[in-house]
Amino acid sequence: MNWDRERTVEDSALQAEIQAAGPIPKHIGFIMDGNGRWAQERGKMRVEGHREGIESVRDIVKAASSLGIGYITLYAFSMENWRRPQAEVNVLMDLLVRYLKSELDELHENNVRMLAIGKLNALPKRVQRKLFECIDIMKDNTGLNLTLALSYSGRWDIVRAVQTIALDVRRGKVSPEDITEDLVSSYLLTSEHPDPDLIVRSSGEMRLSNFLLWESAYSEIYITDKYWPDFRRQELYDAIRDYQKRERRFGKTSQQIAQDSANSGIVGRILDKFKF
């Protein structure tokens, strides 16, 4: 099924409107929270919430792909989540394998490239096998980059990067003066990703929970009270519309930002004129 063609007329029009209204984030990170509460409020088992949460993942992946977002990173399982009851961890691992099995063909047909970040060797072998198979099959795709954060912790990744840099210093491959922000970024598991422009968290919690700590230094943050199983493409559109209204100043003043954009307009027009 081709996701662009599958869209309703109204949805295509909405997407076109959003694309015309302002910049589309290149990379969005999603903290998919609230599955358990969604289920409990309906008198269901937590697992039902996780199951319904996968429907949200399906919808968000399709919508992100047809909107032309370059990268989405889904926080699916944190390193801290290993502390949950073993039965819940098992269910989450089973759902993950089931998701990978059922979605592989459709993701591949739609040119999605799958990536994974986290301490992947901590995952059960059956999860690792399916995950690496999916990543391998989709490795040359050029559409949406779909990164699954699994057994992931931002601090863990930073520590891992620091250890690797230290080893490279010892081997003489890097000298301490070479250690810059860019070098540190290049040692992180997200080195191929642009920093997230936007971090979205569902279920109203105002925290990052160890997600993309280094990378989110200047990310815009959008928090909605909706639980993840209720977070569908309309909520994604709301998040992007909100993002488009923000002024990203990166430490500068509002006035400077206005001047920068006027200048880039002039430079753009000059470059166009001389067909650079």
Binding-site size for ligand IPE (CB under 6 A) equals 19
Site string for ligand IPE, 198-217 (x = CB under 6 A): -----x-x-x-x--------
Write the binding mask 57 to 96 for ligand IPE: x where contact by CB under 6 A, - elsewhere: ------------------xxxx-xx----------x----
Q: What is the dihedral of CA 141, 147, 151, 153, to 10 degrees?
A: 140
Backbone angles phi, psi at 156, to 5 degrees: -60, -45
240-256 per-residue burial string, b: 16 or more CB within 10 A, e: under 16: beebeeeeeeeeeeeee
Q: Strands of 118-224 (E only): list them.
A: 145-152, 198-201, 220-223
Rounded to a whole number of angstroms, the minimum distance from the CB of residue 191 to ligand IPE is: 21
Q: State how beta strands 71-78 and 27-31 pair.
A: parallel
Identify whether the C-beta of residue 217 lies closer than 8 Å to the C-beta of residue 45. Answer: no
The smaller minimum CB distance to ligand IPE, of residues 226 and 233, is found at 226
For 71, the enclosing helix (H) or strand (E) is strand 71-78
Determine the size of the site formed for Mg ion (CB under 5 A).
Answer: 1
Q: Which amino acid is at 170?
A: R
Q: Is 33 a catalytic residue?
A: yes
Pick the catalytic residue from 33, 110, 145, 197: 33
Q: How far is the CB of 61 from ligand IPE (least distance, A)?
A: 16
CB of 2 to ligand IPE, least distance (A): 30
Choice between 38 and 71, CB closer to Mg ion: 38
Residues that bind Mg ion (CB under 5 A): 33
**Can you give the binding site for ligand IPE, defined by CB under 6 A?**
31-37, 75-78, 80-81, 92, 203, 205, 207, 209, 228
Residues annotated as catalytic are 33, 81
